[in-house]
Amino acid sequence: MIYFDSAGSFPVLDEARDAFINSVSKYSANPSSDHAAGVEAFEEIEKVRELIADMIGASPSEIVFTSGATESNNLALKGLLNSKLLENKKHIITSQAEHKCILSICGYLETIGYSVTYLKPNADGIITADEVIKAFRADTAIVSIMHVNNELGTINPIAEIGEACFEHNIYFHTDAAQSFAKLAIDVDGLNVDLLSLSAHKIGGIKGIGALYIREARELDITPVIHGAGQEIGLRGGTVATPLVASLGKACEIFPERFKSAQFSKLRNKLTSELVDKAIKYEVNGVSGLPQIVSLTLPEIDVMTFLLSHREKFALAQGSACSSKDIEASHVLKSLGFDRDKAERTIRLSFDFSTSENSIVELVKALHCFVNQD
Ligand SMILES: *Cc1c(COP(=O)(O)O)cnc(C)c1O
């Protein structure tokens, strides 16, 4: 199996796995307990909280552990909107190209009286600050625009959007699941008030993530999961020390490895191989994170190719079967793709094991597929 789906889940780093396993028995006490074993587990968690805070220019008291970016996004939007500070503000600005979970949270919020503006990305796949500013209303409570798009790899101008929100006194949340530990993030420099991240997009284990909340203690955020006061009362449930340890280890190791990985070279190899084999292609979205490539192959029945090669290549497709029909992904739809074009689109995302040879193999298989009949 040749894996091209690191944006779906990044292969777990050996070190993150080991940190998890070691922590399972080493820190098996409840981190909320007052005895020495509990305190040890607590300290392990706090070390990771500090590490994450340092990585984004925050303070540890502003980091809340969650089960992942989906939960962080839920806490960010639902939790903040419940705040008394935002009592009369019923408008949310987001984009059509957000991760499905943001769209699903916003869909829910619409059913309880909020109105939501879903901005359409421009032809490059970007949400510009100008578009956000145009959508501002007197009752806008929060703007939620992702940092890096998970289907396109495009990078949104978070600093400009943050500045505009700051000037208009509007909270700004960004889903940074695809950018955390990959791009430099400074929550003050970017004027970000809330930021979601996830361990399994950076080589950690699934089931752990975090939400950064600016001055978390000052805001009367309503928890999504009520509990026994863990995570400054914002997220109930015993904190999963081994998962936190895996996230911490990924945070330590991933950024350097990501920086020294040759993703641009792999990307160039991909296009040069396609040219070489005379396979027509278009790259979707302006170039952003080189780890993620969205590719339309107009002359190839990509759906059939993927179906017949699912044992050989792990690739994400640009369309998905909904209840009735095959539909273009909402991200491609937001770029104006029809169903046929979406069906000819794949997403490749690289990891540390992706080699030029992986790419040669894929293009070879595409070439054989085209020329078989
Ligand atoms: C993967 C992903 C999520 C969901 O993260 P989980 O930790 O799996 O809940 C949310 N947003 C983006 C942009 C993602 O890539």
Instruction: Kindly give the confidence (pLDDT) of every residue in the chain, 373 residues in length, as a single tens digit, with 9 standing for 90 and above.
Output: 999 999 999 999 999 999 999 999 999 999 999 999 999 999 999 999 999 999 999 999 999 999 999 999 999 999 999 998 899 999 999 999 999 999 999 999 999 999 999 999 999 999 999 999 999 999 999 999 999 999 999 999 999 999 999 999 999 999 999 999 999 999 999 999 999 999 999 999 999 999 999 999 888 899 999 999 999 999 999 999 999 999 999 999 999 999 999 999 999 999 999 999 999 999 999 989 999 999 999 999 999 999 999 999 999 988 766 556 677 899 999 999 999 999 999 999 999 999 999 999 999 999 999 998 6
Whether the model clears a pTM of 0.95, i.e. scores above it, the answer is yes
The total of structural domains in the chain comes to 2
Mutate-to-test residue for ligand 1 from 72, 178, 347, highest number of ligand atoms within 8 A of CB = 178
Nearest alpha carbon, ligand 1 atom 5: 69
- The dihedrals phi and psi of 182, each to the nearest 5 degrees, come to -115, -45
Q: How far apart are CA 372 and CA 20, in angstroms?
A: 47
Handedness of CA 64, 65, 69, 72 (dihedral sign): negative
**Which atom of ligand 1 is the closest one to the Cα of 71?**
9
Exposure string (b/e) for 338-347, b if CB count within 10 Å is 16 or more? Answer: eeebbbbbbb
Residue pair 68/238 in contact (Cβ under 8 Å)? The answer is no
Both 232 and 333 in a single domain?
no
Give the closest residue to 232 by CA, choosing from 20, 62, 350.
62
Both 101 and 155 in a single domain?
yes
Mutate-to-test residue for ligand 1 from 71, 127, 150, highest number of ligand atoms within 8 A of CB = 150
Distance from the alpha carbon of residue 176 to the mean position of ligand 1, in angstroms: 9
Both 207 and 265 in a single domain?
no
Helix (H) / strand (E) element for 94: namely strand 91-95
**Which atom of ligand 1 is the closest one to the Cα of 149?**
13
Distance from the alpha carbon of residue 178 to the mean position of ligand 1, in angstroms: 8
Both 157 and 106 in a single domain?
yes
Distance from the alpha carbon of residue 208 to the mean position of ligand 1, in angstroms: 11
Range of the domain at 26: 14-253
Both 213 and 306 in a single domain?
no
Q: What is the CATH number of the domain that holds 292?
A: 3.90.1150.10
Q: What is the CATH number of the domain that holds 35?
A: 3.40.640.10
Q: Which of 222, 253, 284 is the last residue of a domain?
A: 253
**Which atom of ligand 1 is the closest one to the Cα of 199?**
7
Both 280 and 206 in a single domain?
no
Both 330 and 205 in a single domain?
no
Which amino acid is located at 332 in the chain?
L
Both 221 and 243 in a single domain?
yes
Both 48 and 172 in a single domain?
yes
Which amino acid is located at 121 in the chain?
P
Distance from the alpha carbon of residue 276 to the mean position of ligand 1, in angstroms: 35
Q: How far apart are CA 75 and CA 66, in angstroms?
A: 9
Distance from the alpha carbon of residue 69 to the mean position of ligand 1, in angstroms: 5
Q: Say if residue 216 is exposed, middle or buried (CB neighbours under 10 Å; 0-12, 13-18, 19+).
A: buried
- Active-site residues, by number, are 321
Q: How big is the chain by its Cα radius of gyration, in Å?
A: 21
Both 213 and 280 in a single domain?
no
Mutate-to-test residue for ligand 1 from 67, 95, 98, 99, highest number of ligand atoms within 8 A of CB = 99
Helix axes 241-260, 14-26, angle to 10 degrees: 160
Both 338 and 248 in a single domain?
no
Both 165 and 290 in a single domain?
no
Q: What is the chain's length?
A: 373
Q: Which of 232, 253, 274 is the last residue of a domain?
A: 253
Q: Which of 253, 272, 294 is the last residue of a domain?
A: 253
Which amino acid is located at 304 in the chain?
T
